[in-house]
Amino acid sequence: MAGCCSVLRAFLFEYDTPRIVLIRSRKVGLMNRLVQLLILAYVIGWVFVWEKGYQETDSVVSSVTTKAKGVAVTNTSELGFRIWDVADYVIPAQEENSLFIMTNMIITVNQTQSTCPEVPDRTTICSSDSNCTLGSTGTHSNGVGTGRCVPFNESVKTCEVAAWCPVENDAGVPMRNILPNVTSSYLKSCIYDAQTDPFCPIFRLGKIVEDAGHSFQDMAVEGGIMGIQVKWDCNLDRAASLCLPRYSFRRLDTRDLEHNVSPGYNFRFAKYYRDLTGNEQRTLIKAYGIRFDIIVFGKAGKFDIIPTMINVGSGLALLGVATVLCDVIVLYCMKKRYYYRDKKYKYVEDYEQGLAGEMDQ
């Protein structure tokens, strides 16, 4: 109980004030200067030079516009010789921060709403009506089952469905994109290259995929999603002409993951019309292609007195760490710690109590 009272009395009625003690010791002096030097190197080198702690920074706010140019040529048994321009392979014409370019397709022409055989697979092949279920549907079916088993071709029978007929036969034809070569000006002639022309805003599709570490020919068949990353790190204390973008590319879809059940990127769209008798028809297109997502990020910084003063104050405060560290070593770790501790601390009684004691004597 007496110990608790003494601790409480010391807490309430004693006051600690710093005392400056000059210690003439090479070991302690060199240690103190070394710690101060490391702190100064951190504040000047890292905080101010590397991290530009004297600047006020803000994130990049961007608006991205994209435009595709060029033509492609195909010669297939279904469509024959055909020229494809931007209106054909860019779907939709405008997107926000994205650009989808169709590189492969499956076309099913002149579809009408009627009944027809399903595409053969392990769930649709049949030998009699008993193998087909009336009203059946599935996640991969093209329509509603009629319960009949009908010939798909001369050798195979499949269950009949009520759907847009003929149903889509999911077998693709690969296409290759060829970019234009124009020479009227720099923007019409330059092609982005990380080594020779890293700031040209015109890109070859194959080069983008290649720089991301993938094959364009493989990606064109199944489609995919590519990220075009534009990084802006600008020091606005320098000339604006030195603020330049840096481009990088990476694939964003999950093509490389194991057990991926839906590789690439594709979607379907249809074009509707009516024949001469007024019956509604459509052409169904399953489009495979590469969607390009443009991702802009970075920061810009400019000198400002407020962050400068904050970091200067933080640096000066860190210098106090050197004194604390040296005090710990001198007072608790060195052989002469008791000697230094006697020089460091001095106990002084209250002036009035001391004066009253002297008068009593």
d(CA 74, CA 325): 76
Q: Where are the domains of the chain?
A: 23-54+304-360, 72-118+167-302
The average pLDDT across 63-84 equals: 75
d(CA 247, CA 202): 11
d(CA 361, CA 359): 5
**Of 121 and 60, which is predicted with more confidence?**
121
Which of 93-97, 190-194, 308-312 is the least confident region? 93-97
pLDDT band at 1 (very low <50, low <70, confident <90, very high): low
- So what's the pLDDT on residue 201? 74
- So what's the pLDDT on residue 149? 93
Classify strands 80-84 and 72-76 as parallel, antiparallel or unpaired.
Answer: antiparallel
Report which of 112, 146, 113 is spatially closest to residue 132, judged by C-alpha positions.
Answer: 146
Residue 229 and residue 266 in contact, taking contact as beta carbons nearer than 8 Å: no
**CATH 1.10.260.40 fits domain 72-118+167-302:** no
Which three-class secondary structure state does DSSP give residue 298? strand
How big is the CA angle at 160 (ends 158 and 162), to the nearest 5 degrees? 150
- Counting residues of the chain whose pLDDT is more than 90, the rounded percentage is 2
**Of 86 and 277, which is predicted with more confidence?**
277
User: Does 245 sit behind a cis peptide bond, omega within 30 degrees of 0 on the bond before it?
Assistant: no
CA–centroid distance for 59 within its chain: 15
- Mind listing the pLDDT tens digit for each residue in 243-293? 778 888 888 876 655 555 567 787 777 888 888 887 888 888 888 888 888
- Mind listing the pLDDT tens digit for each residue in 317-341? 777 777 777 777 777 777 777 777 7
Report which of 209, 199, 181, 192 is spatially closest to residue 101, judged by C-alpha positions.
Answer: 209
Q: What are phi and psi of 183, to 5 degrees?
A: -130, 15
Tokens of 18: 């710093």
Give 320's DSSP letter: H
- So what's the pLDDT on residue 211? 85
- So what's the pLDDT on residue 10? 66
d(CA 279, CA 109): 14
User: Could you tell me which CATH number the domain at 23-54+304-360 has?
Assistant: 1.10.287.940
- So what's the pLDDT on residue 173? 29
- Mind listing the pLDDT tens digit for each residue in 16-62? 666 666 777 777 778 778 887 888 888 888 887 877 777 766 666 66
Sequence-ordered list of residues with C-beta below 8 angstroms from that of 262, at least 6 positions apart, any chain: none
Residue 289 and residue 100 in contact, taking contact as beta carbons nearer than 8 Å: yes
Report which of 200, 204, 254 is spatially closest to residue 230, judged by C-alpha positions.
Answer: 200
d(CA 271, CA 110): 10
Tokens of 39: 């702190």
Residue 39 and residue 315 in contact, taking contact as beta carbons nearer than 8 Å: yes
Classify strands 144-151 and 157-165 as parallel, antiparallel or unpaired.
Answer: antiparallel
- So what's the pLDDT on residue 260? 59
Is the confidence at residue 358, as pLDDT, over 60? no
End-to-end CA distance of the chain: 33
d(CA 43, CA 49): 9
Q: Which pTM does this prediction carry?
A: 0.46
- So what's the pLDDT on residue 182? 33
pLDDT band at 181 (very low <50, low <70, confident <90, very high): very low
Report which of 207, 171, 179, 221 is spatially closest to residue 72, judged by C-alpha positions.
Answer: 179
The average pLDDT across 186-212 equals: 79
HSE value, Cβ hemisphere, 13 Å, CA-based, for 121:
9
pLDDT band at 171 (very low <50, low <70, confident <90, very high): very low
- So what's the pLDDT on residue 24? 73
Q: Give the type of residue at 203.
A: F
- So what's the pLDDT on residue 101? 76
pLDDT band at 64 (very low <50, low <70, confident <90, very high): low
- Counting residues of the chain whose pLDDT is more than 70, the rounded percentage is 76
Q: Give the type of residue at 14.
A: E
- So what's the pLDDT on residue 160? 92
- So what's the pLDDT on residue 257? 52
Which three-class secondary structure state does DSSP give residue 324? helix
- So what's the pLDDT on residue 28? 74
Report which of 155, 153, 154 is spatially closest to residue 169, judged by C-alpha positions.
Answer: 153
- So what's the pLDDT on residue 340? 73
Tokens of 189: 């002639």
Is the confidence at residue 167, as pLDDT, over 70? yes
Q: What are phi and psi of 321, to 5 degrees?
A: -65, -35
Residue 82 and residue 74 in contact, taking contact as beta carbons nearer than 8 Å: yes
